[in-house]
Structure 1
Amino acid sequence: MTAQALNAQLLELYHNYTKSIYAQTWEDNVSAPLLMHVFDEYCAMENKILFVGQETHSWGQMNLKPKPEDLLIKYREFNLGKPADYGDGKPLRYLRSPFWNFNRSVFYQGNWQNSEVTNKTNGFLWTNISKFDCNSTTPSQDLQDRNEEGFELLKAEIAILKPDVVVFLTGSKYDGRIDKVFNPVRETILPDGYLYQLSTVDGSLPPRTFQTKHPRTLLGSRRNKMPNRYREVVEKVRECAFDELINKK
C-alpha cells in the first residue's frame, strides 16, 4: 500500500479521535496530540519498524484544537529528528539524543541490505504510547484517564500501518496502559526489564515486538551505579528481529 493511501486512512482515524478529544476542555499546558505522517520510504522498506516512546516534549497546544491535517504536517516537518526547525528559535539542527540514535541504529540494522538506505533515511515511524504531554513531561493520571482514547489509538494505528517490527522504548512507566490496550505476554530476553519480546493472542502486535527501557536509561549512570546496556540492547534487538531473516537469504 502507498504512503498516500496509509495517510488517508490515518487521517480519517485522526478526525474521529480529535473530534472526540477536542470536545473536552484542556489547560494550555497540555500538548496537542502526536499524529503520524507516513513517509514514502516506509512503504519501500523490507522491515517496516514503528518505535513507540513515552510522551512528547511539547507539541503545540491541545486547547487550540489544531486540525489533524496541520498535525500531520508538523510531524512531517519534524523530519524524524533530522535537520529541521523545532520552533524554539534555534537554527536548523539534527537531533542526536540517545532516543533518536537508538531508532536510527535499529532501523539501519534491519534495512541495510537495501543499498539506498542509510541511517538518515525516513524509513521508519515514531509515535508515543501517550499521545500528549503536560508541561513537556508525563501527564498526570487524571489527564491520562481523560485521554484514554489516545492510548487506544495506537492499536488502530498499528492495524493500518502493519509494521513488521514494533519497539516500545517505554521502560515500565506505561505498562498498565500497554497491558490494558494489548494484554501482551512478555518473554524475557534480557533480565531486569532491559528487553522483552511481546506477543498477543489477537495479533494486534506483530510477532517481532519488543519492549525495552528508554535509551537514555540504557546508557546507565555512574551516580546510580547503573551499567551501560545501550549497545547490548541494540545488538540483541537486531539478533532477535532481523538475523534469522537475513541468514535465510
Structure 2
Amino acid sequence: MNDELYRLYQTRLTDFERVILQFSGTDLAGPLLMSPNATYGEQENPLLIVGQETKGWGYLQGHDIRKQMVVYEEFNLGDGYYSSPFWNVTRKVERALGAVPYSCAWTNLSKFDVDGGRSYGEQEQLIATVDDLLVAEVNILKPKVCLFFTGPDFDSRIQRIFAGITYQSVPDWPIREMALLKHPDLPAYTFRTYHPNYLRRSGLEPGFIEFISGLPFSADVPPSIL
C-alpha cells in the first residue's frame, strides 16, 4: 500500500514543485503525503479521516518524496502530539468502530498549509490543483469508513474532486452538520461533518460519536440513513 502511495506521489512531484515555486517567500508547508502504519490494514473497518489542512508540516526538499512520507510516519497520527480536539475525537471514532488507537489513516483536502493555516483566493486555487490526489489515495487505501472533518465550507472543493457527488441527509442531523456522501470512488460509509473543534464547541460531539458507534456494518449501504 505505501509503495503504491510512493509511486503515486512520485508521478506528481513536478506538480508539488510547481506549487512550491509559486509560493516563494511564503511559509508553505507540505505536501502532506500519506504513509499509514501497519495497523491500518489489520482493522475490520479501516478508517480514513480527511481533514482541512495541517498547522505546519515538513518541507519538500531535494525532490525527496520518501523523506516527506517519513514526516507522516514520525507524526504517527498525533501520537505524542498534544490532545487537540481533532486527534482526541479521532481516537474516540477509532474506539467507536472497534479499532485500536492510532490505526486510522489520515490525509487532508489541502496538501499544503500557508503560514500554518488555510489558504484563500489565488493561493487556494493553486493548492487545489493537487486536490485530485485524494481520489487515488482512497482507491489505494480502500477504507470501509471515510470521514470528512471539513465542514460545509469545503464542499465546493469536494464536489470538484468527486464529480457528480451527492449529499444525502442523515435523520436527526441538518445536512450542514452531517451528510452522507455518495460517489463511486468513495466507500458506502462516507460522511461529511464539522471539524472536531467545532463539533466540541457546538455540543455535537457526543451525538456524533454515538452515531458512529451505531453504524450498521452488516449492510452495503447503511439502512438507518437511507
DSSP 3-state at the match of 1:232: helix
- Find the partner of 1:240 among 206, 215, 222: 215
Tell me which residue corresponds to 1:160.
Answer: 140
C-alpha contact (below 8 Å) 1:32/1:65 kept by paired residues: no
Partners of 2:157 and 2:62 lie apart in 1 by: 25
> Which structure 2 residues correspond to residues 50-199 of structure 1 after superposition, within 5 A?
50-61=48-59, 64=61, 67-83=64-80, 94-112=81-99, 117=100, 120=101, 122-182=102-162, 183-189=164-170, 190-191=173-174, 193-199=176-182
- Find the partner of 2:7 among 7, 12, 29: 12
For residues 137-165 of structure 1, the C-alpha deviation after alignment (integer angstroms, 9 at most, x for no partner) is: 10122122223332100011001111111
Structure 2: where are the runs of 5+ without partners? 221-226
Partners of 2:128 and 2:176 lie apart in 1 by: 25
Q: Which amino acid aligns with 2:77?
A: L
The CA deviation at 1:185 is 1.0
DSSP 3-state at the match of 1:168: strand
Partners of 2:120 and 2:64 lie apart in 1 by: 25
> Which structure 2 residues correspond to residues 203-222 of structure 1 after superposition, within 5 A?
203-220=184-201
Tell me which residue corresponds to 1:90.
Answer: none
C-alpha contact (below 8 Å) 2:111/2:131 kept by paired residues: yes
The CA deviation at 1:237 is 2.4
DSSP 3-state at the match of 1:71: helix
The CA deviation at 1:218 is 1.0
Tell me which residue corresponds to 2:41.
Answer: 43
Higher mean Cα deviation, 9-18 or 26-35? 26-35
The CA deviation at 1:75 is 0.4
C-alpha contact (below 8 Å) 2:168/2:175 kept by paired residues: no
Q: Identical aligned pairs, as a percentage? A: 32
Tell me which residue corresponds to 1:23.
Answer: 18
CA 1:66–1:82: 2 relative to 1, 3 Å: farther
The CA deviation at 1:195 is 1.1
Partners of 1:241 and 1:188 lie apart in 2 by: 17
C-alpha contact (below 8 Å) 1:208/1:241 kept by paired residues: no
Q: Which amino acid aligns with 1:171?
A: G
The CA deviation at 1:102 is 1.1
Partners of 1:192 and 1:155 lie apart in 2 by: 23
